[in-house]
Amino acid sequence: MPLRRVLFWVHLAAGVTCGLVIFIMSFTGALLALQPQILLWAERELRTVQPPSVETPWLGPDVLIARARERHPDMTVTGLTREHDRTLAASVTLTKSAGTTPGGPPAPQTTAWLNPYTGAEIAQQDAATGWRRFFRTATDWHRWLGVSGDRRTAARWITGVSNAAFLVLAITGMYIWIPRLWSGAAIRAVAWFRPGLAGKARDFNWHNVIGVWSAAVLVVLTFTGMCISFPKTYDVIYAVTGIERPPAPAAPNAGPQRRARDTGFDRLWTLAESHLPTWRSIAMRLPQREGQPVTFTINDRERLNAMARSTLTVNPTDGQVIRWEPYEQLATGQRLRTWMRFGHTGELWGLAGQIIAGVASAGGCVLVWTGIALAWRRLTAWLARRRRDERVPIGRAA
């Protein structure tokens, strides 16, 4: 059997088998493509402030954390994030620790937006408010098909297998769409939309054109999605490429079960800024036990890759640097995981990458629709031929 025919039937079988799940992941992927920008726009009144003057300094983490604790005494402050943009509010992460059990579901979190120049709380939000609830629902469907609890393990396996099937569809499609004879007319037939078509001809044209223009992007999205669903995939990548496996994260220091002393965060923050003067944002994770370090995650505004993060780990007692891990010095294996995670959303290449990923995901919905339509027409035509052949008398057929 010719290779093209074999690949066609593999392509058809993968699309029919996993088409519904692929459609759900493509649709929700398109919805999630511009999530950071949409949230910033939707919450602009909550997340923006007017600095008193250009020279006015912000209050610093010590004051903001204290203000947050005063307003929310029943919650634990677990982090503080500030953007280099002076018109953006500082965000404080609050965790409701009461009632949680070890090994149980994560404690619910709330984000409090504070004016960094006055300490006043502008707003408080959690995952159940407005646009965040919308994106949370879309994420649940994208990752786990909308199920919860123990069923998510099976759902994640299903989405992972469907990602692998979509990868097969993209790769085989790139071969199938190559014209048998290279000519201007043959290339235009698979590379450009032809107006005025209907039925099978329209579906075939749309399927080919969208597939040709989105296949390369879909290969990236599906491969990275498969790696996210099946972390063991990284072991194969490390073995094939010879990339050194990233070291396992250090275990937290087992100290007394009481909150760490947190005086002196101002000087630690200044230390973090000095390690990367071109910072775009700094996220500080607070220690929840004595003996645990303070961790700063810092993004560089001079890098095209907005997800190129450096990490600073500091002893909160004496202010000594425990570990400084600039992005450019990270092991290739560690950076690989960042590339996979943010390559899947397109954020690795900024806003342009997100738009391309979103458009390709929307194209995936059309590919599923037109592919199923073409498969259905093929099936009904085959059944019609069989019924016609069964009605023809043997002698007349001879």
pLDDT over 50 (residue 252): no
pLDDT of residue 320: 92
pLDDT digits (tens, 9 = 90+) for 74-90: 999 999 999 999 999 99
pLDDT over 90 (residue 69): yes
Helices (H) and strands (E) in the chain, counts: 13, 8
pLDDT of residue 178: 82
**HEC letters along the chain:** CCHHHHHHHHHHHHHHHHHHHHHHHHHHHHHHCCHHHHHHHHCHHHHECCCCCCCCCCCCHHHHHHHHHHHCCCCEEEEEEEECCCCECEEEEEECCCCCCCCCCCCCEEEEEECCCCCCEEEEEECCCHHHHHHHHHHHHHHHCCCCCCHHHHHHHHHHHHHHHHHHHHHHHHHHCCCCCCCHHHHHHHHCCCCCCCHHHHHHHHHHHHHHHHHHHHHHHHHHHHHHHCCCHHHHHHHHHCCCCCCCCCCCCCCCCCCCCCCCHHHHHHHHHHHCCCEEEEEEECCCCCCCCEEEEEEECCCCCCCCEEEEEECCCCCCEEEEECHHHCCHHHHHHHHHHHHHHCHHHHHHHHHHHHHHHHHHHHHHHHHHHHHHHHHHHHHHHHHHHHHCCHHHHC
Start-to-end CA distance of the chain, whole Å, equals 28
Q: How far apart are CA 84 and CA 282, in angstroms?
A: 8
In terms of residues, how long is the chain? 398
Q: Coil, helix or strand for 111?
A: strand
Percent of the chain residues past pLDDT 90, beyond the cut: 62
pLDDT over 70 (residue 254): no
pLDDT of residue 255: 41
pLDDT over 90 (residue 107): no
pLDDT over 70 (residue 35): yes
Reported as a pLDDT band with limits 50, 70 and 90, residue 374 is very high
pLDDT of residue 233: 86
Reported as a pLDDT band with limits 50, 70 and 90, residue 248 is low
Q: What angle do CA 172, 176, 182 make, to 5 degrees?
A: 140
Q: Tokens 């903001």 — which residue? A: 64
pLDDT over 90 (residue 30): yes
pLDDT of residue 96: 81
Q: How far apart are CA 34 and CA 23, in angstroms?
A: 19
pLDDT of residue 221: 96
Average pLDDT over residues 381-393: 83
pLDDT over 70 (residue 172): yes
CB atoms within 10 A of CB 67: 19
pTM given for the model: 0.85
pLDDT digits (tens, 9 = 90+) for 112-171: 999 999 999 998 887 777 898 999 999 999 999 999 999 999 999 999 999 999 999 999
CB atoms within 10 A of CB 142: 22
Percent of the chain residues past pLDDT 70, beyond the cut: 90
pLDDT digits (tens, 9 = 90+) for 279-330: 999 999 998 787 789 999 999 998 877 788 999 999 998 889 999 999 988 8
Q: How far apart are CA 87 and CA 312, in angstroms?
A: 25
pLDDT over 50 (residue 398): no
pLDDT digits (tens, 9 = 90+) for 191-206: 899 999 999 999 999 9
Instruction: Give the closest residue to 48 by CA, choosing from 18, 8, 89, 15.
Output: 89
